[in-house]
Amino acid sequence: MGKWARVAIAHCLLPIALGCSKKPEFETFPVPTDTTPPTPVSRISPREVVGTWQGDIVITNPAGRERGRSGRNSRTQLRLESTPAAVPVDGVTSTTQYNATVTMPGYTRAPRGRSGQAAAWWPGTLDSVVVQFTGQQGNHIQLRGAMSGNRMSGEIWYLSAGTGSSFQLGTFSAARVRR
């Protein structure tokens, strides 16, 4: 048997001999722990939100200056219901959406014979509620508010359907006037 044949056999038998002679050692790695806190769950039930809400809105321009509290865009009305949304909003993480009607002068367009525009609402995280409707140019507008008893206040966000961009349009505050 030649020199190269012995080397070839040694290369084939060496891993087998080493594998049988001792237990294989595996490198241990620490188990990663997820340090991201879980998303806070909503504490809002539909029964707490249902009713008619009236309030004020303040629309700001891109520079952040108010356009005025007493102008055409100063009052809003929300009617939040506990019936499942007839047309749920796509892309929303909440699996439960409910019917709503929104009146926001300059932004909503009510069908003939109706006082407001159809929308959807869902519980947000902790004590918050999100109401979304499609604006006059086909973009989405969201009212994101925190509840405290019979009061709700928060931000108004503009979501562009074409570009996916968003920006804060203004703020709102509302009080429940009836259940």
Query: What tens digit of pLDDT does each residue of 150-168 get?
Result: 999 999 999 988 888 899 9
Tell me, what's the pLDDT at 72?
A: 41
- Per DSSP, the residues of 35-51 read -SPPPPPB---HHHH-E
Tell me, what's the pLDDT at 150?
A: 94
Tell me, what's the pLDDT at 119?
A: 95
Tell me, what's the pLDDT at 91?
A: 78
Tell me, what's the pLDDT at 71?
A: 37
In order of 2, 57, 129, 153, the CA distances from 73 in angstroms are 96, 7, 21, 16
28-53 burial, b at 16+ Cβ within 10 Å, e below that, comes to eeeeeeeeeeeeeebebebebbbbeb
Residues lower than pLDDT 70 in the chain:
1-42, 61-74, 94
Q: 3-state DSSP helix/strand/coil percent for the chain, to nearest 5?
A: 15, 40, 45
What is the value of pTM for the model shown? Answer: 0.70
Domains and CATH numbers, the chain: 46-178 (2.40.128.120)
